């Protein structure tokens, strides 16, 4: 009997340790949802995330199948009571395939960000396929609850064979973040 009680207590303590009970270490639980592949869509990966307060987390910005893309622009909104934007990376962006990219960011006010990433030089051509656009880093602040990080404007720049270009709006899927 004593051994089974001790085993139960150890199991409870181990479970609490695994789930981070009483700990302030960073923990994220990701849920991956694939967007409809028939439409051109910009989306976050993961699209659902559980994070601890005062921890950093990353969201990948991805795009579904596109053809001859020369640049991508998107604006984001997030609740600055829940999150703080800390970084962006274009490392491993599919736009850098056989070329260089330029990434620009701007913040018009707390909770709003604008991004533009483009290939350099029309001679580098456009790229096709689904892929990673950029990685965004955020920090959760002291508030617990649920909030969204959402796209509110987005477009792709398509490079034509004759060197001209045009812009297209694309669909979007937002991220839902739960802070505990």
One DSSP character per residue, the chain reads -HHHHHHHHHHHHHHHHHHTTT--S--EEEE--PPPTTS-EEEEESSEEEE-TT-EEEEEEEEEEEEEEEEEEEEEEE-TTTEEEEEEE-TT-GGGTTS-EEEEEEEEETTEEEEEEEESSGGG--EEEEEEEEEEEEEE-S--EEEEEEEEEEEEEEEPTTS-EEEEE-EEE-EEEEE-
Pick the CATH number of 25-179 from 2.60.40.10, 3.10.20.30, 1.10.10.10, 2.60.40.680: 2.60.40.680
Give pTM, 2 decimals: 0.78
The model's pLDDT over 8-24, given as tens digits with 9 standing for 90+, comes to: 332 333 233 333 333 33
pLDDT given for residue 163 in this prediction: 84
Domain positions in the chain are 25-179
- What is the per-residue pLDDT across 43-89, written as a single tens digit (0 to 9) for each? 999 999 999 999 999 999 999 999 999 999 999 999 999 999 999 99
Average pLDDT over residues 127-148: 95
Q: pLDDT at residue 108 above 90?
A: no
């Amino acid at each position: 009997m004593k051994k089974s009680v001790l085993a139960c207590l150890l199991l409870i303590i181990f479970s609490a340790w695994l789930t981070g009970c009483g700990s302030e270490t960073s923990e994220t639980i990701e849920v991956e949802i694939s967007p409809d592949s028939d439409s051109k869509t910009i989306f976050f990966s993961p699209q659902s995330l559980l994070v601890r307060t005062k921890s950093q987390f990353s969201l990948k910005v991805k795009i579904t199948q596109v053809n001859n893309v020369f640049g991508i622009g998107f604006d984001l909104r997030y609740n600055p009571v829940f999150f703080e934007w800390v970084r962006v990376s274009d490392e491993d962006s599919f736009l850098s395939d056989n070329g260089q990219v330029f990434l620009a960011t701007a913040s018009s006010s707390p909770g709003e960000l604008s991004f533009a990433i483009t290939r350099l030089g029309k001679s580098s051509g456009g790229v096709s396929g689904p892929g990673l656009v950029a990685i965004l880093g955020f920090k959760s602040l002291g508030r617990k609850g649920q909030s969204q990080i959402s796209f509110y404007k987005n477009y792709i720049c398509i490079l034509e064979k004759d060197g001209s270009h045009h812009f297209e709006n694309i669909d979007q899927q937002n991220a839902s973040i739960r802070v505990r």
